[in-house]
Amino acid sequence: MKKIKLLYRFLILINTLLIILLITCLIILVIPDFMYSKAYDDKVFGMFNHFIIFMRGIILFIGLAQVQRGLKAVIKQGFFNATSEVKFRKGGLFIIIFGVLGAIYNTCVRAELKLDIFINNYIHYFFIILVGLGLYMLVDFIKNGGKLKEENDLTI
């Protein structure tokens, strides 16, 4: 349980830093782009480039917040509970969406990137998708473990 609590605290730190980063991005980049209708001729998405990056950050934050809530449910209610099952499933879904959208974004802005950065980004997004799928697998373990625990409690 100590490792789960450590992971929970680490996610609190990561989510706090991500919120600070997203607010900074919104104030410094996104709002001025829309207020002044900045034109970025060198960017594929033009003035929407920073907004797209901001929205991808929001999706990542939602996914990590769901995982954080799932860990909190594990700490309070034990490993096999329906709350953590739902939260991990939602978190995994948002993390998979973040990875897929990142790969799509990477494909769209390919002209702006060097080849090594382009390939490196795909590797990162592939591993992000694997983390999301890993959370889906964890949900199956929690669900099956909960059924086994319930059957075991009934037989005793």
**Residue-wise DSSP of 93-153:** HHHHHHHHHHHHHHHHTGGGS-HHHHHHHHHHHHHHHHHHHHHHHHHHHHHHHHHHHHHHH
DSSP 27: I
Query: What is the chain's Cα-based Rg?
Result: 19
Show the low-confidence residues of the chain (pLDDT under 70). 156
Q: Which residues are within 8 A (CB) of 99 and not within 5 positions of it... i.e. 6 or more apart?
A: 125, 126, 128, 129, 131, 132
Range of the structural domain that residue 16 is part of: 2-155
Q: How many domains does the chain have?
A: 1
Contact by Cβ (8 Å): 75, 87: no
Longest dimension (CA), the chain: 70
Query: What was the pLDDT predicted at 156?
Result: 58
CA–CA separation, 113 and 79 (whole Å): 43
Query: What was the pLDDT predicted at 125?
Result: 95
